[in-house]
Amino acid sequence: MRAIQIASPGRIEQVDIPAPVPSADQVLVSVRACGVCRTDLHLLDGEVSIPHPPIVPGHQIVATVVASGDDANPGAPLAPGVRVGIPWLGWTCGKCRYCRSGRENLCDLARFTGRDIDGGFAEFAVVDRRFCFPLPDSYSDLEAAPLLCAGLIGFRALRLAGVGQRIGLYGFGASAHIVAQLAGAEGRSVFAFTRPGDSATQRFARELGAVWAGGSLERPPEELDCAIIFAAAGELVPAALDAVGKGGVVVCAGIHMSEIPAFAYERLWGERVIRSVANLTRRDAEEFFARAGRERIHTSVTAYPLDETAQALEDLRHGRFEGAAVIDLAQSA
Binding residues for Zn ion, rule: CB under 5 A, are 37, 39, 92-93, 96, 99, 107, 149
Apex 249 CA angle, 248 and 251, nearest 5: 155
Cα separation of 323 and 178, whole Å? 8
- Please tell me whether residue 231 adopts helix, strand or coil conformation: coil
Query: CB of residue 128 vs Zn ion: minimum separation in angstroms?
Result: 14
Nearer to Zn ion, 99 or 169 (CB): 99
To Zn ion, the closest distance from the beta carbon of 114 in angstroms equals 8
Name 115's Cβ contacts closer than 8 Å, sequence gap at least 6. Answer: 39, 43, 48, 50, 51, 55, 57, 59
What letters, b where the CB count within 10 A reaches 16 and e where it falls short, cover 115-150? bbbbbbbbbbbbbbbebbbebbeebebbbbbbbbbb
C-alpha–C-alpha distance, residues 202 and 217, integer Å: 14
For Zn ion, the closer CB: 37 or 239:
37
Minimal distance, residue 326 CB to Zn ion, in Å: 13
**CB of 102 vs Zn ion, minimal distance in Å:** 11
Min dist CB 60 to Zn ion, Å, is 6
Q: Which is nearer to Zn ion, 93 or 278 (by Cβ)?
A: 93
DSSP letter assigned to residue 84:
E
The residue (of 32 and 166) whose beta carbon lies closer to Zn ion is 32
CA quadruple 160, 163, 168, 172: dihedral sign = positive
The smaller minimum CB distance to Zn ion, of residues 27 and 99, is found at: 99
Indicate the residue among 160 and 217 with the shorter CB distance to Zn ion.
160
Question: From the CB of 62, what's the least distance to Zn ion, in Å?
Answer: 14
Tell me the backbone φ, ψ of residue 132, rounded to 5 degrees.
-130, 160
**Nearest-approach distance from CB 212 to Zn ion, in angstroms:** 27
Q: Which residues pair with 122 in a beta bridge?
A: 3
24-41 burial string, b = 16+ CB within 10 Å, else e? ebbbbbbbbbbbbbbbbb
Q: Are 79 and 29 in contact (CB under 8 A)?
A: no
**Between residues 37 and 182, which has the closer beta carbon with respect to Zn ion?**
37
Q: Of the two residues 159 and 267, which places its CB atom closer to Zn ion in the complex?
A: 159
Q: How far is the CB of 213 from Zn ion (least distance, A)?
A: 24
Which secondary-structure segment (H or E) carries 176? helix 174-185
